[in-house]
């Protein structure tokens, strides 16, 4: 915490110095969303290059003066929380001054900018993200406040903890971890008691694009147990994009890649090649939109796809067919095909990429 306080003090000191010299104070932030600032590293995924381009948030410029003020406001809130060892969610920060901030997304972006500017992980700033992910299966752990959580005996899923860093005493006999893209598929597998039937496993869903806590938990489980991690996604560009976030990270959070990515993640399904192999009826497939075509084309150009020839091939199959499929298409074969046939066979015979 002293490191965080010192980092904030240094920023404020620079502001004071500029004012003393009758200069307009400026905050310098890395360009987090620029692909030119990102490099792909096999062991880490997407990470920010040391000499990245920056942008200035000036206090004397009409376009950025408001953002400058909001950054100082949030820095002061973080400073007080670190001093008093209290925490707040991003939502709490927004609701502390809704008229001032204008929207939740403004708060989210500023907090990420501050984290990147100070080179300090967001959780060390005492700002917690609201969790939307779920975890179930062969796992138990203790939360920071001493609460024991047992995901094994629960018929319902457990919410991913909001302070993943603080959990300890993780124990599991799981043979693998299964990341499920969608909540509906996750709940279906839970109802089918999948994590007990095949072999003990841990199931996680970020319910779409994963939030930070879900990604942190996947990374923590990997660090703790070093067991295979498989993904179960829709066979569409959006599903591939989500899988890439878990495996390689996202451009906007590349400055924190070391804590968030798990390069060992494997693509278990739904593979575009599975659709033909399983003779899935064309009627249950969905034609591509222009947006799907653009997203797929942009994914195919990414640096990490060149290192994954088998993934590349699957994306080419998807691009050629111009059709996408949700995991639910497997119910056209039988209602429990996913948990009874598809996943057990894939896991037994190594049907992942």
**Catalytic positions:** 95
Q: Which of 224, 210, 231, 204 is nearest to 137 (CA)?
A: 204
Query: CB-side exposure of 29: number of CA atoms within 13 Å?
Result: 21
Find the length of the chain. Answer: 353
Specify the DSSP element, H or E, that contains 285. none
> What gap in Å lies between CA 72 and CA 76, rounded to an integer?
6
User: Is residue 148 a contact partner of residue 142, using CB atoms and an 8 Å limit?
Assistant: yes
> What gap in Å lies between CA 315 and CA 240, rounded to an integer?
9
User: Is residue 201 a contact partner of residue 178, using CB atoms and an 8 Å limit?
Assistant: yes
Query: CB-side exposure of 343: number of CA atoms within 13 Å?
Result: 28
Q: What is the DSSP string of 24-63?
A: --EEEEE-TT-GGGEEEETTTEEEE-TT--EEEEESSSTT
> What gap in Å lies between CA 71 and CA 66, rounded to an integer?
9
């Amino acid at each position: 915490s002293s490191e965080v306080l010192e980092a904030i003090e240094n920023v404020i000191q620079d502001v004071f110095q500029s004012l003393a010299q009758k200069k307009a104070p400026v905050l310098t932030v890395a360009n987090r969303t620029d692909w030119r600032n990102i490099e792909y590293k096999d062991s880490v995924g997407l990470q920010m290059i040391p000499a990245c381009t920056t942008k200035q948030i000036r206090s004397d410029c009409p376009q950025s003066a408001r953002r400058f003020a909001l950054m100082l406001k949030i820095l002061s809130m973080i400073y007080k929380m670190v001093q008093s060892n209290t925490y707040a969610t991003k939502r709490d920060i927004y609701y502390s001054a809704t008229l001032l901030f204008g929207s939740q997304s403004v708060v989210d972006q500023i907090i990420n900018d501050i984290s990147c500017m100070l080179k300090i992980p967001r959780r060390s700033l005492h700002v917690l993200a609201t969790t939307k992910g779920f975890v179930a299966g062969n796992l138990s752990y203790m939360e920071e406040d001493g609460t024991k959580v047992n995901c094994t005996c629960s018929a319902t899923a457990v919410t991913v903890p909001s302070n993943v860093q603080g959990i300890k005493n993780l124990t599991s006999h799981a043979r693998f971890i299964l990341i499920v893209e969608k909540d509906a598929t996750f709940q279906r597998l839970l109802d089918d008691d999948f994590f007990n039937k095949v072999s003990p496993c841990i199931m996680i869903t970020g319910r779409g694009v994963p939030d930070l806590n879900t990604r942190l938990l996947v990374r923590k489980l990997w660090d703790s147990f070093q067991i295979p991690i498989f993904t179960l996604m829709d066979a569409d560009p959006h599903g591939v994009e989500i899988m890439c976030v878990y495996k390689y990270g996202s451009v906007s959070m590349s400055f924190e890649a070391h804590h968030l990515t798990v390069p060992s993640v494997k693509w278990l399904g739904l593979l575009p090649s599975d659709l033909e192999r399983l003779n899935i009826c064309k009627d249950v497939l969905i034609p591509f939109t222009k947006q799907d075509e653009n997203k797929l084309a942009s994914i195919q150009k990414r640096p990490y796809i060149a290192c994954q020839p088998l993934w590349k091939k699957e994306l080419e199959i998807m691009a050629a067919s111009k059709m996408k499929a949700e995991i639910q298409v497997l119910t056209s074969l039988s209602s429990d095909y996913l948990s009874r046939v598809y996943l057990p066979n894939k896991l037994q015979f190594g049907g992942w990429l």
